[in-house]
């Protein structure tokens, strides 16, 4: 399962569990989140955007803003992973997405 390590369901949290910065995309304004991701991409070559449920369109929008507007020609989406997490015993399922952005 992709999102086991994320404990906060809403908000943006940059975690340091891997070598690449991970952004948990929530319901914040998309442009502000894109600027936060862009500031980290200034120092790093790669970032990971993760989102779940109703926040998935925000993560896709952030990835598009970065690759098509802010760093056009200097960045690309390396990988997109889609998954579904089922709550134990309840039967509710939540979709998740992980988008890896590279800067070159």
| Model pLDDT for residues 38-82, shown as the tens digit of each residue | 999 989 999 999 999 999 999 999 999 999 999 999 999 999 999
Going through 1-104 in order, the beta strands assigned E by DSSP cover 14-15, 22-24, 46-52, 75-86, 93-103
In this structure, which topology does domain 14-103 adopt according to CATH?
Answer: Translation Initiation Factor IF3 (3.30.110)
Structure tokens at 95: 């979709």
Q: CA-CA-CA-CA torsion for 48, 63, 102, 14, nearest 10 degrees?
A: -30
Sequence ranges of the domains in the chain: 14-103
The pTM assigned to this predicted structure is: 0.78
Q: To the nearest whole percent, how much of the chain has pLDDT over 90?
A: 68
How are beta strands 14-15 and 75-86 bridged, if at all? unpaired
């Amino acid at each position: 399962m992709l999102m086991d390590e994320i404990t906060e369901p809403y908000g943006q949290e940059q975690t340091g569990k891997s070598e690449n910065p991970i952004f948990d995309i929530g319901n914040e304004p998309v442009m502000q989140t894109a600027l936060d991701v862009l500031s980290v991409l200034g120092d790093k070559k790669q970032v990971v955007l993760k989102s779940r449920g109703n926040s998935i369109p925000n993560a896709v929008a952030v990835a598009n803003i970065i690759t098509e507007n802010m760093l056009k020609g200097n960045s690309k989406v390396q990988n997109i992973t889609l998954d579904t997490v089922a709550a134990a015993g309840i039967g509710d399922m939540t979709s998740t997405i992980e988008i890896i952005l590279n800067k070159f």
